[in-house]
Structure 1
Amino acid sequence: MRALSKACLLLSGSLCAVALAASSAQAIGDEENRQPSTGPSGNANGGTLTASATTTSIKVTQVSGSGSGKSPKALAPVDPNWEPPACWYEPVATPEQLKAAVDRLKKGGELVAVTPSLSWGEELMVTQYEKGEARTSDSEGYKNYNIGQDGQFWRGVINEAREDDAASYACDRTLFWQDANTLPDNDHAPTPEVLAAYAYDKIKVPGTEVELKPAAESKVNLPTWAWLDTATFQEVKVRAELEAAGVWAETTAKPVALHLDPGTEDAETYPSSGDCEINADGSIGTPYTKGDAERTPPCGVTYLRASGGAPYPLKASITWEISWEGSGGAQGDLPDGTFETTQDMTVREIQAVNR
């Protein structure tokens, strides 16, 4: 259960209610354009949808890359302390839409959600948004719902990936007005950087296994070549856009390195660090060709002992460099991401035949 906001604590219990579930309050604004949530999403009711604290209007689009192909996988940030934004503010209703929501409330409709966790009844909504009388010290009154003014009413949204985090409580400002083409002067405004971080959390990279030769079975002291070609190893770009606020960001994941862990100490990697750098053409390593069996691969591993009863778990960790650009010329970097695959390698002794 989310805690009561300060506004609710200052008022009579008969005048406000906390949205304990998605179906506790009605949504406002253009719900058809809002992104569905994998969490509670509510139900249709009188032409609107019930409110969800994790329903966002941010539109996410796969711009390029093969992350939407076979078995796409999420990236794990290299920085263990990095997290996507816990919450942010979004425009949710025009003056006319807010008035319509209150009109439905006057006819016995559901409460109106004014924060992700708090909903108000008729008296509070009419007093603050129709009569223009602020009910709390940290809110404003809006005469006749600000009809005729250019802008929208905004409300906090919780990132469904972090809805159980204490940080998601931070976007608890009561439904407020924001002039058109401006962003709130608040740490939780939906800036391009916030959208870039949101897009990062949505990136899916191709779950492609590293090409190996020999593929699944090798011999002791025989080099195993490893590589990734440009056809299956391309950058992935995701766009996050909050159209109603005129803000967007595109986050790009670019593959830059491959790290090999042979799964045993009885092995040598190439290079010795196990870090295979990306080539000028975007590939990693060099494909094996006939006659390369005795050569040292630029990217690969040589096993020095047979695997015995169980194969060695050869781990291949791909590093993706993350950058972004957004509206207003904004740009920056985010922590690198990694994706790890494990491939079983059976290693046998080379059998000699005596005659």
Structure 2
Amino acid sequence: MDQLKKGGDLVQVTPSLSWGEDLMVNSYEKGKSPGPGEASYKNYNMGKDGMFWRGVMNKDMVSDMASYSCERTLFWQDANTVPQDKHAPTPEVLAAYAYDRINVPDTKFELKPAAKSTVNLPTWVWSGKGRFQDVKVRAELPHTDLWAETTAKPVSLHLEAGTPDAETYPASGECAINGDGSIGAPYSTGDADRTPPCGVTYLRATDGRPYRLRASVTWEISWTGSGGAGGDLPDGTFESTRDMDVQEIQSVNR
């Protein structure tokens, strides 16, 4: 449904061919009812707090005859209210609108070693503070009390080494999101032989073709809305990959 005009402000309304000039002048300016049970208005309700609405068909569904049932001529709705119409917007509709506009940060991560690892030595994986935090999008319908807010919450980063000849840390490959929005811990000098909170150890060297290390972050998405409405929406998973060359260092024991 469309909002067309706020009563306090006169807006030029161009009638469609189905309405006709007579209908617009008689029903909305002169207050003459177009038929039994049909509403009429004087001078477009100027000075009243509210706006005219109308039902419109989804332009992408013109082949669906059922979509024509939502068409409706202009009618008045008082401010801060929503029409009692099965086609009127709902918090669920606004939640879907907000869901489509969620923009989560790219799945970027740091590595040490950055591109060439060594057999049996851990590769550290981490992301800095504040990168992975809740993302909220709120949708409101102007001049009504209708609203919905979606929240995308990062759950974990999942590591896939790109080969079965590897071990991940943790063993599940699921690195938790820390309270400060970071993942894992940065590599520091002297950490080469330590087990990282998030990382991978390759057990076999590459043979000219790099392993593809894949990291994906899952976002759980929920929503709340006016009137106590709310629920869950489909999760989103976003990934990034790195090519990893793994070398084997030979040593001689005497």
User: What TM-score comes out, normalization by structure 1 length?
Assistant: 0.58
- SS of 2:163's partner is coil
Alpha-carbon contact 1:90-1:245 (below 8 Å) kept: no
Return the match for 2:34 from 114, 130, 133: 133
- Residue 211 of structure 1 is matched in structure 2 by 110
Return the match for 1:225 from 104, 117, 124: 124
Alpha-carbon contact 1:223-1:296 (below 8 Å) kept: yes
- Residue 177 of structure 2 is matched in structure 1 by 278
Alpha-carbon contact 2:56-2:72 (below 8 Å) kept: no
Paired with 1:224 and 1:324, the residues of 2 have a C-alpha distance of 37
Alpha-carbon contact 1:91-1:245 (below 8 Å) kept: no
Distance 1:229 1:97, change over 3 A: same
Paired with 1:351 and 1:165, the residues of 2 have a C-alpha distance of 67
Distance 1:124 1:286, change over 3 A: same
- Residue 41 of structure 2 is matched in structure 1 by 143
Return the match for 1:251 from 119, 131, 150: 150
Moved more, 331-340 or 144-153: 144-153
For 2:138, the aligned partner's letter is R
- Residue 112 of structure 1 is matched in structure 2 by 15
Alpha-carbon deviation of 1:259?
0.9
Alpha-carbon deviation of 1:121?
3.4
User: What TM-score comes out, normalization by structure 2 length?
Assistant: 0.78
Paired with 1:322 and 1:228, the residues of 2 have a C-alpha distance of 21
Alpha-carbon contact 1:192-1:327 (below 8 Å) kept: yes
- Which has the higher Rg, Structure 1 or Structure 2? 2
CA root-mean-square deviation = 3.4
**Runs of 5+ consecutive residues of structure 1 not aligned to the other structure:** 1-88, 103-110
Paired with 2:252 and 2:86, the residues of 1 have a C-alpha distance of 74
Paired with 2:208 and 2:170, the residues of 1 have a C-alpha distance of 28
Question: Alignment length, in residue pairs?
Answer: 248
Return the match for 1:178 from 77, 87, 101: 77
**Residue 93, structure 1, aligned to residue 5, structure 2:** yes
**Runs of 5+ consecutive residues of structure 2 not aligned to the other structure:** none
Distance 1:273 1:172, change over 3 A: farther
- Residue 344 of structure 1 is matched in structure 2 by 243
Paired with 2:169 and 2:247, the residues of 1 have a C-alpha distance of 20
